[in-house]
Amino acid sequence: MGLLEISGKSRLDLINRMSTNLVSLLKPGEGAATVLTTDVGRIIDRIIMYAGEETAIALTGEENGDNIARYLLRFVFFNDDFRVTSLGSRFSTLFVYGKDAASKIGEISGTAIDLPLHHWATITISSIELSVHATDPLDGGGYMLKIPVGDEETIVDALTSAGGTLMLESEFDALRIEAKQPRLRHELTGEFIPLETGLWEDVSFTKGCYTGQEIIARLDSRGKIAKQMVQFDTQGPIPVGTEVMANGKSAGIITTSAGKRALGYVKSSVLEKQIALTANEMPIMAVFEPQSG
């Protein structure tokens, strides 16, 4: 994941006017997910903002930190006090998932872990100071550890000794599908808007203007979106990028696939009419609940 350090008096205000969620009021130790969108509301990346005393940290999608840094700097005006620096050479990210994630991190750090979603705190593991961030849960829990470069193996060993196991990418995607958690370059792309991806909690409908706000607000006021991200039950693996068909016509796309489950998008009209779906000539079933704000 990309890690950016943002400093200057405008550090939260600029992100606030460029992204979907209210982040300008974050206090040290707090955090929030927000989505950078284009002028027409299409997803650029979902970032997590973590507020500190004098700086903020932005967690971007995979291998996207430099792209987001360049993008943000394009919108710095003469009266902004805003600086951004990549932390990729100084820190690594490690994600810990599962219902026992908090208790295991607490066990090896000697610090009770009880954080609201996206909030963070400083802890010490094996004499290494690092930060723990409550993140989108998978399999009952989720935390990100921001670790100084060079200390990753020590932290992994401590977690392994506490009963943790390293996860394969296929296992990660399977858990993401179950949790309907989008991923950059899979569900988070310029083809979709945050409401279609189900990111209602990452969108403020009461704050001031931001890039893409007009389109997103219009879709919310209409109460109808063109397509929705859904889970699929399938009869076997389906390649990512496979079209979802309804009555012989394209109705969506598969964006993540793992075993007999998949994640993707389908036209809302097709879902509402409960039209039978196929992918690769294989019957598939959409598992979804109608989206609303």
Tens digits of per-residue pLDDT, 191-209?
999 999 999 999 999 998 9
Indicate whether 238 belongs to any domain: no
Indicate whether 100 belongs to any domain: yes
CA distance 55 to 50: 9
Indicate whether 227 belongs to any domain: no
Indicate whether 167 belongs to any domain: no
Tens digits of per-residue pLDDT, 207-245?
989 999 999 999 888 878 999 999 999 999 999 999 999
Check residue 293 and give its pLDDT: 47
Mean pLDDT of all residues in the chain?
Answer: 94
Are the beta carbons of 21 and 46 closer than 8 angstroms? Answer: no
**What does the DSSP 8-state code read for residue 184?**
B
The neighbouring-strand residues paired with 107 are none
3-state secondary structure of 19: strand
CATH code for the domain in which residue 118 is found: 3.30.70.1400
Indicate whether 156 belongs to any domain: yes
The neighbouring-strand residues paired with 252 are 244, 266
Indicate whether 274 belongs to any domain: no
Indicate whether 125 belongs to any domain: yes
Indicate whether 225 belongs to any domain: no
Residue 110 domain boundaries = 91-161
Whole-number CA gyration radius for the chain: 20
pLDDT at 146 over 90: yes
Count of structural domains within the chain: 1
